[in-house]
Amino acid sequence: MRQRADALLQQMTPEEKVGQLSQLFLFTKPDAAMESRIAKGQLGALLFVTDPSLINHLQHVAVEQSRLHIPLLFGFDVIHGLRTIFPVPIAMAASWDLDTIERAQTAAAKEARAVGIHWAFAPMVDIARDPRWGRIVEGAGADPYLGSAVAAAQVRGFQGAYIGAPDHIVATAKHFVGYGAAEGGRDYDSVDLSDAQLRNVYLPPFKSAVDAGVGSIMSAYMDLNGVPATGNRWLLHDVLRGEWNFGGFVVSDANAVNDLETHGFAADKADAAMRAFTAGVNMEMALTKDAYDNLPAAYKAGKITSEQLDAAVRPILETKIRLGLFENPYVDEARAAQILGATEQKNESLRAAERSAVLLRNEHALLPLQGANNRNIAVIGPLADSKRDITGPWVFVNKEQESVSVLEGLKQVAPQGTQFNYSQGVQISRKFPSFFDAIFGGDKTPVWTEAEQKQEFDKAVQTARSADVVVMVLGERQNMDGEAASSSSLELPGRQQELLEAVAATGKPVVLVLMSARPLELRWASKNIPAILDAWYPGTEGGVAIANLLYGKAVPAGKLPYDWPRDVGQVPIFYSHDITHQPEHQGTRYWNEESTPLFPFGYGLSYTNFQFSNLHVNHEQIHRGEGLDVAVDVRNSGTVTADEVAQLYLHQQSGTSSRPIRELKGFHRVTVAPGETKTVHFNVDKADLTYWSAATRSWVQDDTRFDLWVGDDSNASLHGSFTVAP
């Protein structure tokens, strides 16, 4: 690879080299200027082209007309599927099932590669501890251990065993780094993180992606500790290349190089290009005007050396070589048509959706629904019959008619003779429109008049009155989560809470299905609504998955990847805090509200009961650098086969720095039959006992005593301990 890349580099002009460092958006058709730029070999990559015939056309221009016949790289936001939409990433993380996650991204890669996309701008591995931040939907939640495991699984899914594996694409770990910690949860706003937070919490999922062989990294938009991430040499050079040995390429986020000027960091576009380039950004992603246009002049003026330029271009050429694009630049359009939306991917999507849902409450075993007692079902809510919202954000080229709404899914799955009455009840919408809607066209449904609002609200309550059971599907429209979709509130948008209370007041049993990607205000519901299922945005087959879960054809086993606050005022709230003054008052830090979460990290119910027992730690004492084995028995004492996620938490009692009260350090999702007991093993190793100490400003493993707990959420109470000696 290296020799082939270097042989090309020797023949390339500075303009051609910089061309390989440039990527532009293309939403519709290319204009003459773009085609001529490609023909001159001065554009390396495009994004947002998904039509295989257009991809072939542009690739012909690059390969046949450019002097050195270097193919284009086509990138796209394949976040959770292309045509077949999978549950949103936060949902897949809630499955705590790495195999499912890998399989889902394998299926997504297959569809993308079939149309000629070579490169996904995913996984987003940003830790998010503030649910006001809309992009929480794209990541794995709040925990670095879970986040690291999910990051690696996604990379394996997208890329397969190696870069260039058939039916696979290059992955991008993004957004390097700290993007999820924006002040106030406001998308793009500045981030201030201590070194210890960066090293122990925000960097690990990126490190995990790099160790899994991720081909590219995307630099983030915001300022990190006063230096924009896209111009941050410490991050992009010292950490990423120096410490981690990353050998792929860095792409900027869209327009982030131009932004270096906006930030008041670079003096002008030429300076912005120099600052990003010398910090370690290989490729600039730009809307139309790229700052990197200035690099050939900078090279000619001696501001960058040919070694620097070649070092930036080399990994991009190597990626194209690895992908086999020089030999096979084109795609088979007929094959693409066969693969898109095929049953194989739909089945994977259904399975992933069933495995992602989290059962938050189930009083008196209201779920699973018993067909015989529930002949008349009222289905209520603004998301109950939506084929668009059910697929969530970051969905551009699916076919809406292919997705199954909750109402449709229920009709498919319910026992024969079940009657459904649907009523939307309320409309919900953003106060400020989404820029995605501006680009791709949003919902054009007319807004109800006040008279219509009243009529629909009353109709919904009336529908509930005549039912045996009510299924309410509430939450957030898909454009209320994702990029530029931060929210100052966690309340159910619009009049949904009022509707929920009015429906509950009919006295009918209510099953609340939540569709959203952030923890919404459920204090009232968690006391008054007997069954609550968090379905996230479950994807193309979401309606079927939800119906299967409600009827017990699938058993919920998802677990929360974040703590669920009682109130937005608790944000950020996370189980893994340090123990501070008066820990006995930890739960009553506020005078007006408990300071514990409504539902803890790792929480999720089942239709069966599990017991954890026989905790066994195989060594009372180990030496620094050694590992140990923790075993626990998981028994299913209920009547249905189900999955449980056994979770291991550690706490270091003393050391160079104070350490969190507990931290996740192992998990296994296991299937257990009724009456069966399974022994689950966890391996605790040196990495689990090592952390970055703010005191020594280095990685340390202290000689000290550790507590450990195993159980079904972060409140696990089965306790053991061990000592680490020198």
What does the binding site for ligand BGC look like in residue numbers (CB under 6 A)? Answer: 47, 77, 121, 174, 253-254, 483
Separation CA 548–CA 307 (nearest Å): 59
Beta strand 227-228 with 223-224 is antiparallel
Q: Which residues pair with 724 in a beta bridge?
A: 622
**Which of 77, 97, 187, 253 is flagged as catalytic?**
253
CB 175 within 8 A of CB 218: yes
Residue nearest to ligand BGC (CB): 121
Q: How far is the CB of 410 from ligand BGC (least distance, A)?
A: 34
DSSP 199: I
Select 253 or 318, whichever has its Cβ closest to ligand BGC.
Answer: 253
Select 47 or 471, whichever has its Cβ closest to ligand BGC.
Answer: 47
Return the residue matching tokens 């409504």: 598
Q: What torsion do the CA atoms of 535, 537, 541, 543 make, to the nearest 10 degrees?
A: 50
Select 25 or 326, whichever has its Cβ closest to ligand BGC.
Answer: 25
Question: Measuring CA to CA, how many Å separate 126 from each of 135, 177, 198, 715?
Answer: 9, 7, 11, 24
Select 54 or 645, whichever has its Cβ closest to ligand BGC.
Answer: 54
Separation CA 585–CA 227 (nearest Å): 38
Query: How is residue 44 written in tokens?
Result: 């390396």
Q: Which amino acid is at 688?
A: D
Burial class (CB in 10 A: 0-12, 13-18, 19+), 370: middle
Q: How far is the CB of 183 from ligand BGC (least distance, A)?
A: 17
Q: How far is the CB of 74 from ligand BGC (least distance, A)?
A: 13
Select 253 or 385, whichever has its Cβ closest to ligand BGC.
Answer: 253
Select 120 or 313, whichever has its Cβ closest to ligand BGC.
Answer: 120
Question: Measuring CA to CA, how many Å separate 506 from each of 198, 228, 363, 654, 689?
Answer: 50, 54, 18, 55, 54
Identify which of 630, 671, 625, 661 has the alpha carbon closest to the alpha carbon of residue 647.
630
Q: How many residues does the chain have?
A: 726
| 3-state SS, residue 666 | strand
Let me know if 253 is a catalytic residue.
yes
Select 290 or 483, whichever has its Cβ closest to ligand BGC.
Answer: 483
Beta strand 677-684 with 628-636 is antiparallel
CB 530 within 8 A of CB 361: yes
Quick one: which H or E segment has residue 57?
A: helix 52-60
Select 78 or 212, whichever has its Cβ closest to ligand BGC.
Answer: 78
Q: How far is the CB of 586 from ligand BGC (least distance, A)?
A: 36
Q: Which residues pair with 616 in a beta bridge?
A: 631
Return the residue matching tokens 């994977």: 348
Q: How far is the CB of 258 from ligand BGC (least distance, A)?
A: 13
CB 630 within 8 A of CB 682: yes
Return the residue matching tokens 């089942």: 606
* Residues 100-118 as b or e (16 or more Cβ within 10 Å = b): bbbbbbbbbbbbbbbbbbb
Q: Which amino acid is at 578?
A: D
- Which active-site residues does the annotation give? 253
